[in-house]
Amino acid sequence: MTRKLFGTDGVRGTANVYPMTAEMALKLGAAAGRYFRRDGSTAHRVVIGKDTRLSGYMLENALTAGLTSTGMNVLLLGPVPTPAVGFLTRSMRADLGVMISASHNPHQDNGIKFFGPDGFKLSDAAETEIEATVAGEIQLAQAQNIGRAKRIEDALGRYEEYAKTTFPQGLRLDGLKVVIDCANGAAYKAAPEVLWELGAEVIPIGVSPNGKNINERCGSTHTQTAAEAVVAHGAHVGISLDGDADRVMILDETGHVADGDQIMAMLAARWADEGRLRGGTLVATVMSNLGLERFLTGRGLRLERTAVGDRYVVEAMRRGGFNLGGEQSGHIVMTDYATTGDGLIAGLQFLAEMARSGRAASELIRQFETVPQMLKNVRYAAGKEPLKSEAVRAVIAAKTEAIAGKGRILIRKSGTEPLIRVMAECEDEAMLRHVVDEIVGAVQSAV
């Protein structure tokens, strides 16, 4: 079956436009409920979290209606980070976890992500089966077996306490001034509270959500706001999360930004020194910089690349028994601590290294020299398939041959937006610009 609803990270789109409608959320809830109630028992429960988008109320209610209609008992967590849903699904012995969020996208978008009882995101096979159920006739529960719903008041506190346990015993953040940018999103309460309780002097920004300002000129995709705050307050470090707090960017005391590649390099080197890096391997996607691969190779470590999407990173980690992976975009997955990317816990690991080593953030975020990389996006209309164009294919083939031995090219469709992403790396920056611009031009002509 060809998947139409699910992308690389659940179902996502513009709120109140297919597939992000209340009607579809109800169907998805019912289909997911039926999928996890196949044994016919009545003891099943599901936890639902959300970020701070206005449309979260609508989708939360619709999902609850769908899930309870198939006999699932629903526990509403309120605004919590995505990794908190993964943690609480397993901690509270739920059969299913649901996160309502469009991550780093603007407020008008929203999405639905599912987690299995082990706290990990569902496999492609499970999502495909749920999608097939949506398209068919869903068997509802008998009247006496309809599920209940209630709000859980201590969900955020449970996650906060767990997050603190991942910080090394014996270390404190006393004396560190930390800017934390919560993107007006799901971590706006949890992240500043955890940092303060661990001893930091906290300068919180992006902590006044109004339903429409999530990721707006703040967060991990707009780090200028945090950088300005770091410099203005004389902070030692900045931590910038995205809307659902599964991504992080780190800023040093000058406001310089480290992406996920640099953070992963620091963690991999540290964990390898401590004998903690399982298999001597870091798992990252095809988007990670060639400089990261060279850094690891120089230390006798290995980089395993996957398709883009943190779920594919996690699948490779579980398959190979590895415990560290992530994406250049800031998903840092540490399966010793979490089942998905966790921006807050990754930030805590960086702060722990600052506290342990006494080194400045500016030393820790520059682990390797990046190979010049350029990424450009081309938006296309629904129904278009620009990468099937013969003219586009010819240009891609010619430029791939031209850059061979000097760099690499990666062209792919986004799994969450109607975009063609054109990325290339090359030591020769003039050639890099030429290659990317030529391919972008061909794609633009095709759309």
Q: Is the peptide bond before 209 cis (omega within 30 degrees of 0)?
A: no
Contact assessment for residue 373 and residue 425, using Cβ atoms and an 8 Å cutoff: yes
Residue 55 three-state SS: helix
State the CATH architecture for 260-342+349-364. Answer: 3-Layer(aba) Sandwich (3.40)
Task: Say which CATH topology domain 373-446 has.
Answer: TATA-Binding Protein (3.30.310)
SS3 443: helix
Cα separation, 61 vs 82, in Å, equals: 18
More confident residue, 298 or 417: 298
Domain topology for 158-240: Alpha-D-Glucose-1,6-Bisphosphate; Chain A, domain 3 (3.40.120)
CA distance 351 to 368: 19
**Average pLDDT in the chain:** 95
Q: What angle (nearest 5°) sits at the alpha carbon of residue 158, between those of residues 37 and 237?
A: 125
How many Cα atoms sit within 13 Å of 335 on the Cβ side? 24
The pLDDT value given to residue 381 = 87
Can you count the helices (H) and strands (E) in the chain?
A: 14, 18
Give the phi and the psi of residue 340 in degrees, each rounded to 5.
Answer: -150, 180
- Confidence at 382, pLDDT banded by 50, 70, 90: confident
Tell me the mean pLDDT in the region 235-262.
98
- pLDDT of 2: 64
Any residues with CB less than 8 A from the CB of 159 and at least 6 apart, and which? 80, 81, 83, 84, 87, 88, 190
| 3-state class (DSSP) for residue 387 | helix
Round to whole Å and give the CA distance between 50 and 185. 9
Residue 1's pLDDT band (cuts 50, 70, 90): low
Q: Which amino acid is at 250?
A: I
320-333 pLDDT, tens digit each: 999 999 999 999 99
The answer to whether residue 415 scores a pLDDT higher than 60 is yes
For the whole model, what pTM was predicted?
0.91
Distances (CA, A) of 140 to 35, 59, 147, 374: 12, 20, 11, 50
Torsions phi, psi for 123 (to 5 deg): -75, 165
Q: Is 103 a catalytic residue?
A: yes
Domain locations along the chain = 11-153, 158-240, 260-342+349-364, 373-446
Q: How many CB atoms lie within 10 A of CB 165?
A: 9
Q: What is the mean pLDDT of residues 7-16?
A: 92
Catalytic residue among 103, 220, 288, 329: 103
User: Is residue 39's pLDDT more than 60?
Assistant: no
- Taking the C-alpha atoms of residue 195 and residue 179, their distance in angstroms, rounded to an integer, is 10
Written as six digits, the tokens of 189 are 């309460």
Mind listing the pLDDT tens digit for each residue in 136-180? 999 999 999 999 999 999 999 999 999 999 999 999 999 999 999
Q: pLDDT band at 436, cuts 50/70/90?
A: very high
Cα-based distances in Å from 201 to 93, 192, 238, 357 = 36, 10, 12, 19
Q: Determine phi and psi for 325, rounding to 5 degrees.
A: -165, 180
* pLDDT tens sequence across 206-237: 999 999 999 999 999 999 999 999 999 999 99
Quick one: tokens of 50? 């959300």
Q: Which two tokens mark 389?
A: 């164009």
pLDDT of 41: 54
Provide mean pLDDT across the span 396-412: 92
The 3 state secondary structure assigned to 68-131 is HHCCCEEEEEEECCHHHHHHHHHHCCCCEEEEECCCCCCCCEEEEEEECCCCCECCHHHHHHHH
- Residue 358, both tokens: 């006494």
Identify the CATH number of the domain defined by range 11-153: 3.40.120.10
Burial of 264 (0-12, 13-18, 19+ CB in 10 A): buried
pLDDT tens-digit readout, 172-203: 999 999 999 999 999 999 999 999 999 999 99
Which run of H or E residues covers position 49?
A: strand 45-50
- pLDDT value at 35 more than 90: yes
**Hey, do 158-240 and 260-342+349-364 end up sharing a CATH topology, with the first three levels equal?**
yes
> How large is the greatest C-alpha to C-alpha distance in the chain, in angstroms?
69
For residue 8, what pLDDT is reported?
81
Q: Tell me how far the alpha carbon of residue 150 is from its chain's centroid.
A: 27
Contact 105, 2 (CB under 8 A): no
Looking from the CA of 219 toward its CB, the CA atoms found within 13 Å total 30
Specify the pLDDT at position 373.
92
Q: Any idea what the Cα angle at residue 228 is, between residues 222 and 234, rounded to 5°?
A: 140
pLDDT band at 40 (very low <50, low <70, confident <90, very high): low
